[in-house]
Structure 1
């Protein structure tokens, strides 16, 4: 005979007098203490369970009134990094506002302009304004044209500069696709300028020749000369530093005197390489533990179950990214 599941208990505002608010983890509502921030299991959403935790762990707060716990609860919710935190709420509001103002030209600005012109100048001019199209598709095309124009301006300034410097980064996105990002620094009007040049996916391989072809194709299409490159900044990957087919070697075939530097985009990871021996031992132990868990599907599932049993906020580990 199948056993009946215990009904899920919902959070009640009265639980706040025991110092507990609620938090939703993977769709399950659980009680969270506003003092020690500990998250109890969903089965603990009972008055006597919450009261027992409060009296055992926080008996010194017995004389506090409900308003104190309300302030604590608001502080906890604001500090959360999930979708209920203040940061997530602000981001959602910003995204929603960006969608609202995207139609403001068509729905508000143009009608207001027509009313003003009709009163101040006359109805004949309003007919001319009616031919002005600011629909969402037209605005999208204008933005794309403006983006292309900005890129063309940067390329023209690079052509006029006597020299320029390139910095390459090859991060991998969430879909495991390598993205080649290029930054450029050059001279314009006797001042140094730094701009983001382009981002292109490396669809197949990430060899030095593949990286070089992306860069060379970009400059060739815009009739610019890679020979004006004075320095190149890359990381220490073999595809960049290879003595036979690395990107830097390919560039030297066009610019023999080019200066090469190590990229400092991931400077935090580079700084970790020079940690004190006492700190580095701890860091290496953490790497070993993470690799042990992530190296096996069984270990990963066991670790996830352990996190679930402990009501941990996070269930997965991330690999350490080695910077070369």
Structure 2
């Protein structure tokens, strides 16, 4: 029984490794069955013999299976990131928008935060702006994500943008709206630079 469990774990690990590579390379999920599996099987058979391919054949690399594993890994990475952000002392946001091939505005948010004496910079989320790029709409997108993720606005100490009108308005821009949500006043820079996307003037140690 112990041997069976051990083999099963190895097969599961192999499945996740294969799914990870497919996701990392941005390939269609079907490539697991159509290319990855046949190549792996052929190489193992050529080097170790035909008998060893029986174990390779037990690895499920169907389109649906690969998709599920990628979703699981993505969810795990997201939860680990949010857990670290919730436990940080301070965080800074860098925001911007871009138009995709369907001409829809996509809003991107990056976050820099301190965690266990280390400053980390990560991609936080990407959301479509279904209406337009007014400051109110942009703030609502960010605020909804922050609230659902359980992140405290009081830890936000800096906002970095591209300086667009919707971002830079002193009274109704994104920066002004975020400041109203912070019990501690967030520093606001009109244009992004590596130096401004940080914690200057703040003690990041607990």
1:262 aligns with 2:202: no
Q: 1:106 aligns with which of 37, 47, 62?
A: 37
Q: Write the mapping of 1:223-302 to structure 2, written as runs, cut at 5 A.
A: 223-255=150-182, 256-264=184-192
**RMSD of the alignment, in Å?**
3.4
Considering Cα pairs closer than 8 Å and 6+ residues apart, tell me whether 1 or 2 has the greater RCO. Answer: 2
Q: CA deviation at 1:264?
A: 3.0
Q: CA deviation at 1:231?
A: 0.6
Q: CA deviation at 1:153?
A: 1.4
- Give TM-score scaled by structure 1 length: 0.44
Structure index of larger Rg: 1
- Give TM-score scaled by structure 2 length: 0.66
2:96 corresponds to: 169
Q: CA deviation at 1:157?
A: 1.2
1:142 corresponds to: 69
Evaluate the alpha carbon distance shift between residue 160 and residue 136 of structure 1 in structure 2; reply closer, same or farther with a 3 A threshold: same
Partner-residue secondary structure (3-state), 2:61:
coil
1:160 corresponds to: 87
Q: CA deviation at 1:202?
A: 0.6
Count of aligned pairs: 167
CA distance in 2, matches of 1:231, 1:257: 9
Unaligned runs of 5+ in 2: 1-24, 194-206
* Equivalent pair of 1:208/1:246 in contact (CA under 8 Å): yes
